Amino acid sequence: MRVLIAGVAVLLSATAALAAPLPGVRTPTGNIRCFYVPIKPTQHGTLLCDLEHADFARVAQATCMARSGLDWHGFALPWNGRGELSCSGGVLYDIGRDHPSVRLLRYGTTWRYRGFTCTSRRRALSCVNGRGHGLLLSRQEWRAW
């Protein structure tokens, strides 16, 4: 019995050690959040962003369904490319191991992490990667470049 308990304790400790926070930000209203997801084996990653409420949600959903037959889940900004709609059949990170850990990004302030820069304004949240590509997100609209 002691061996079993010790084994479970070691397994739980190992699982906790493997858990990884995915650093990111949320807007003051809490409507928009973005967080960094590493891509292994490289050291590069992607910024994933989602909106709680968006006026364009139906159009985004229809676009994803028409393009790939998958649900709309937000937006992705890769480390080296243009921002885009994120159409997927589920969560884009390991929910058994990773968890978004977002902090408040007050209006007029900027967050930088691993080559990504996000700035919060009353009108929108804008994020740019190290190559100059980006996303502008608000309840009313989104743009990618």
Question: What pLDDT is attached to residue 50?
Answer: 95
Tokens of 67: 């393009």
Query: Which positions of the chain have pLDDT values less than 70?
Result: 1-19
pLDDT tens digits for range 77-87: 999 999 999 99
Question: What pLDDT is attached to residue 4?
Answer: 31
Question: What pLDDT is attached to residue 81?
Answer: 96
pTM of the model: 0.82
pLDDT tens digits for range 4-18: 333 333 333 333 445
Question: What pLDDT is attached to residue 39?
Answer: 85
Long-range contacts of 54-61 (CB under 8 A, 24+ apart): 54/139, 54/142, 55/139, 55/140, 55/141, 56/140, 56/141, 56/142, 60/85, 60/142
Question: What pLDDT is attached to residue 18?
Answer: 59
